Chain A
Amino acid sequence: MVLSRQRRFVTPGPEETIEELAARALPGQPLQAAVDSIKSWNLHVFAMRRPPGLMLGSDVIFVEPPVSNG
């Protein structure tokens, strides 16, 4: 059974920072661009959470924008 393509994600490692996660998840990109992308794709962590940006071990962190299901 082949699963349909869904949005790719990772979970944060212990004590991992956004910079470390971005470098791990998007290794081909300049670091700041990678960080900005990760933040923009994960508003549930980096905008809506209090305090913003508190990453938890159980979080789903998307490493790409929403995919088209059309």
Chain B
Amino acid sequence: MFDVIVRGGTVVDGTGAPGFAGDVAVKDGRIAAVGQISGEARTVVDARGRVVAPGFIDPHTHFDVQLLWDGAARPALEHGVTCVVPGNCSLSLAPLKADDRKAVVGMFQQIEEMPPEAFTTAFEWTWEDFAGYRAAIEKGLSINVAPLVGHSVIRLWVMGPASQERAAFPDEIAAMQALLRECLKAGAVGLSTSFVDLDAHGKPVPSRYAQFDELDALCAVLGEFGRMLQVVPEFYATDITIARIDQLAELSIRHGIPTTFSPLFDTLAVPDNAERAIARVEEQFARGARVWPQMQTRPIDISFSLLRPSLFFARLPRWVRILRQPLEQRVAALTDPDTRAKMLADLGPDGGEAMFGRLVARGGDACPPEYVGKTLSEIARLRGQPAGLALIKLSLENGLDVAFLSASQGHQSTDRIGPMLAHPLVHIGASDGGAHLASFSTYGDTGYLFSEFVRKAGAMSLEKAVAKITSETADIWGLKDRGRLAPGQCADIVVFDADAIDRGDELPAFDMPGDGMRYVRAARGVDTVLVNGEVAYAQGAYTASRSGVVCV
């Protein structure tokens, strides 16, 4: 008697091999058999007309805090994702001393745009070390987690405020090595670092103060375990990205570790950016390095309102400062004629037409209906105001609750991106799941891979697409017994309709702690998701199963 049989589907086993008609049987959380199976099971999942594949793995997320109250990392799981990697970009929630929590929460807010309530109202801080954090999330997981530990928090733990002032002394580097070793023993899948991020005060995060010899020493510890180094490079500058690829290659070869950098974007503003980076990756792989560029599937769209800070204004420091103020002060600043004049002057002589004119009023909020769906340029004309002033005044008149969409900011050419995603050395990832909550939806990139790049563009076969986000990801990250449908493998399984799997429309949801808002996309075409042999999602609903584990 099996526990589960997924019966009658097309088995796409994650290896890239052609799909075949068959069943998948599960016993004790593992796959027991694949093929024509005659036995019985306590649960039978009808997969006729559907694809049966290994669960998808998302290697770049920031679900660190959400996992403390939502063990399914909703809505990632319903998209067929059965394993997430949080702790990217040098930031994790452990190891973290109680006195340093405020500083790290500020970094999460600044870099990943997470609301403060997510850290203050939804859970109790019960840990400082990595094992304690692991125990805290493991209480309620229905998705698997392979957590990275952040370089910035390791540095902060060892050096305190000096972590954002100077290079580390040899004894401090040794202490960081010992701490990293402890984290890896407690289940960290690797180390993340950042070369670009700023904290809540606009100061570089601790990892950026590290000399290369510090990173090298930490990678020596990763080498003891064969674990991953993830970095955020200066992705907006090709020469610097290539320099980072070379640094990663040196570390990879010297310590025998896999490395990955994310994101790698395609942009028509620098048409050879991704192409040159990939060419360098090819050269470095040829000499034995492992440097995996992560590329996301979705185009870059950013939504914002003046209700909260947004990365949309990253190039306007005055706007950032004003929008980071508490609501009352923010409204006062936006209303003050002198302040407003300075803000508008920042936009240039056209009053913001070039910068803001193509923004579209999203609707579904307090925006007057006559403006919904119109560009800010059109709205400005209707109101007889320059675009920047129209943005501010329209927002003030409606409690700041007017959201705008800045579509297609880059990475939107399917013809260019499809072949890159199919490239054997390009790692599909960089979803940023669980971050940038009020800027864009970070869920559904896997559905978009199938709808846009398999069905519409034919950039790769269904089997190849499945392999890219299952077995290849598991192999890159060293996730043992994940990513394939074969006897003995962990039974992470997704059943989906190959003709329908997709991401839904981007919609605001008010399901974050403190009634916080985020943009989400529901899954389309995903029927059933099993995690370690238990049905975690079926026919549009999450189950009570809590079969997820820290899978390192």
Any A CB within 8 A of the CB of B298 = no
User: Which residue of A1, A6, A66 is within 8 Å of B280 (Cβ)?
Assistant: A6
Docked-complex contact A6 and B167, CB < 8 angstroms: no
Q: Is A57 an interface residue (CB 8 A)?
A: yes
Given contacts A6-B246, A6-B280, contact A58 B166 (CB under 8 A): no
Residue-by-residue, is A7-38 near B (CB-CB < 8 Å gives 1, otherwise 0)?
A: 10101011100000000000000000000000
Shortest beta-carbon distance from B542 to chain A in Å: 41
Residues facing A in B207-228 (CB within 8 A) are 207-212, 214-215
Contact between chains at B283 and A60 (CB < 8 Å) = no
* CB < 8 Å neighbour of A58 from B202, B212, B246, B287: B212
Which residues of the partner chain B approach A11 to less than 8 Å between Cβ atoms? 211-212
Residues of B within 8 A of A6 (CB): 239, 242-243, 246, 280
Option from A1, A7, A15 in Cβ contact (under 8 Å) with B167: A15
Bits for B284-306, please: 1 = Cβ < 8 Å to A, else 0. 10110000000000000000000
B237 contacts A by Cβ under 8 Å: yes
On chain A, the residues within 8 Å of B287 by CB distance are: 1, 3
Contact size range, A: 20 to 34
Q: CB-CB < 8 A to A68: which residues of B?
A: none
Q: Say whether B167 contacts A57, CB under 8 Å.
A: yes
What is the distance, in angstroms, from B64's C-beta to the closest C-beta of chain A? Answer: 22
Taken together as a complex, chains A and B put the C-alpha atoms of A7 and B286 apart, in Å, by 20
Report how far A69 CA is from B272 CA in the complex, Å.
11
Chain A 28-70 near chain B by CB (<8 Å), digits 1 or 0: 0000000000000000100000100010111110100010010
**A62 and B239 contact, Cβ closer than 8 Å, known pairs A6-B280, A56-B204:** yes
Closest beta carbon of chain A to B283's beta carbon, Å: 5
Q: Assess A60 versus B202: contact at CB under 8 Å? Given A3-B283, A11-B211, A50-B317.
A: no
Question: For B284, what are the chain A residues with a Cβ–Cβ distance below 8 Å?
Answer: 3
In the complex, chain A residues whose CB is within 8 Å of the CB of B208: 56-59
A60 CB contacts on chain B under 8 angstroms: 195, 234, 240, 243-244
Cβ-based interface call for B139 (8 A): no
B211 touches A58 (CB 8 A): yes
Does B480 belong to the interface (CB within 8 Å)?
Answer: no
B-side contacts of A3, CB under 8 Å: 246, 283-284, 287
Provide the bound-state CA to CA distance between A50 and B209, in Å. 15
Known: A6-B280, A44-B237, A50-B202. A57 touches B209 (CB 8 A): yes
In the complex, the answer to whether A58 meets B210 with C-beta atoms within 8 Å is: yes
Q: Which residues of A contact B212 (CB under 8 A)?
A: 11, 57-58
**Chain A, residue nearest B283 (CB):** A3
Decide if B276 is an interface residue (CB 8 Å cutoff).
yes
17 sample A-B contacts, Cβ–Cβ < 8 Å, listed by A number: A3-B246, A6-B239, A6-B246, A7-B239, A7-B242, A7-B243, A14-B167, A15-B166, A56-B204, A57-B167, A57-B212, A57-B214, A58-B209, A58-B210, A58-B212, A59-B195, A59-B208
Closest CB pairs A-B (n = 10)? A14-B167, A1-B287, A57-B211, A60-B243, A1-B286, A56-B208, A58-B208, A9-B243, A7-B239, A60-B240
- Enumerate chain B interface residues (CB-CB to A < 8 A): 166-167, 195, 202, 204, 207-212, 214-215, 234, 237, 239-240, 242-244, 246, 272, 276, 279-280, 283-284, 286-287, 317
